[in-house]
Amino acid sequence: MQKSELTLFIKAEAKSLGFLVCGIAKADSVNEPTSAYLAQWVGEGRNGTMGYLQRNSDKRTDPRLLVPGCRSIVCVALNYCPRPQDIVKGHLHLSRYALGKDYHKVVKDRLFMLLKRINELHPVQGRAFCDTAPLLERYWAAQSGIGFIGKNHQLIIPEAGSYFFLGELLIDAELDYDVPMLQNPCGDCDRCIKACPSGALKADGFDARQCLSYLTIEHRDELPKNIGKMMGNCFYGCDRCQTSCPYNRDACSTDVTDFWAADALLAMSDDDWHNLSKEKYNELFADSAVERCGYQQLMRNLKAVE
Ligand code: SF4
Ligand code: SF4
């Protein structure tokens, strides 16, 4: 089969599976500025206690070591932007990405389906990833031309914003490759930097150790003393660097029902959250990415919120 034909088929099937965009990058080592920035970032300890970012740097900077034989990286994005009714204003809440079912599974299930459909037409070997491997997802998404990495360090799709989960198929077929966007459309804007309550976002980069998302989700120890004021009413994650971004102003709500907030979650009052039992936690988050945080840690966050 001609590679151009296979490329068009993959993109059409990705769309039919609900992915908003699909771009394809050549599997190669990451560029020098990116690998240098990553090494410096980890070297300065900006990854905090996320020790996994110090491991597998060879695979992280060259996906051909992660999936031997892979030639192409098919990058997709699935919308999770909440419906207005899924965001209860003025009440304690979770970060927008965590309102629905565990995105790792939802995105990967669709990628497995995509791989299956490709194989029905043309035999390929490949693996699917969604935030589950040492792979620089945003870098590859930008390389595949589906968006650009904004000053908020999120992948921004110019026509749709940044409320997207990214996923990748690494396959051994050669395809037609897309090209990255030429310019960074952030321009002079610095709204996300100004909106960041903790100073984690800076003009010269990002420090995870100060980021509320990292502190409330990844960080297992005690929280810094003054964190409550910065948290506002979000006790799991923090969305300010996205809500402040003009590219999200007209973001469309997701039609992926798996990402809609469950009624039980929406029914929670502030009192319910503060008195959350382990049983209720298990009921609310059995099939959610919040499970990663764990009950004790979630209660730690709730105690800190002011
Ligand atoms: S998630 Fe919040 S704390 Fe982290 S960089 Fe964005 S605005 Fe700053
Ligand atoms: S808020 Fe402005 S600077 Fe930040 S990512 Fe969005 S466009 Fe770029």
- Residue-level pLDDT at 222: 93
- Residue-level pLDDT at 306: 74
Closest ligand to the CA of 240: 1
- Residue-level pLDDT at 203: 81
pLDDT tens figures, 234-272: 999 999 999 999 999 999 999 999 999 999 999 999 999
Q: Is the pTM of this model over 0.85?
A: yes
Residues of the chain with pLDDT under 50: none
The torsion of the CA quartet 127, 56, 43, 202, rounded to 10 degrees, works out to 10
Q: Is any atom of ligand 1 closer than 6 Å to the C-beta of 212?
A: yes
Q: Is any atom of ligand 2 closer than 6 Å to the C-beta of 47?
A: no
- Residue-level pLDDT at 183: 78
Closest ligand to the CA of 203: 2
Catalytically active residues, by annotation: 131
Mutate to test the pocket of ligand 2, among 245, 248, 249, 250 (most ligand atoms within 8 A of CB): 245
Q: Is any atom of ligand 2 closer than 6 Å to the C-beta of 164?
A: no
Ranges of each domain in the chain: 3-171
